[in-house]
Amino acid sequence: MLEQNTVVMRRAVKDVWNGENFSAVNELVASDVILHLPKPGEEIYGPEGVSQFYATLHAAFPDIHFTIEDQIAAGDKVVTRWTCRGTHKGEFEGISPTGNQINVTGIDIDRIANGKVVECWPVMDELGMLQQLGAIQ
């Protein structure tokens, strides 16, 4: 079961995060999936919300690429430590394209049920990313 859960997350990184295959979202996440974003009160719901989240990310960073650095599974959860790199070529959270390269680290904790992600708690170095984009010093 644990290995199957890590396979789900590795496929999400390969197909959705890196491959822009947003149709795979329906195969990988539950219909009632919730992404609990780090900002209070900010959550993303359902496969459509997840697809839109990644489409927006890819519009801002068309060459974005995620690398899995570590992955640990226990019970129904998978923890994935990742690094992403990309070039800021589209608007991102109100920031006009800068052409700057980003190199950002993060960790996702995903809860898997019946072979699909049902909850995700992502955390990333947003401060570092905003500094790399020149939005703050």
pLDDT tens for 13-29 read 999 999 989 899 999 99
Is the distance from CB of 43 to CB of 36 less than 8 angstroms?
A: yes
Domain ranges of the chain: 2-132
Buried b / exposed e along 90-114 (16+ C-beta atoms within 10 A): eebeebeeeebebebebebebbbee
First to last CA, the chain: 45
Residue 124 has pLDDT above 80, yes or no: yes
pTM, rounded to two decimals: 0.92
Confidence at residue 1, expressed as pLDDT on a 0 to 100 scale:
63
Is the distance from CB of 124 to CB of 104 less than 8 angstroms?
A: yes
Residue type, 87: T
Top CATH class, 2-132: alpha beta
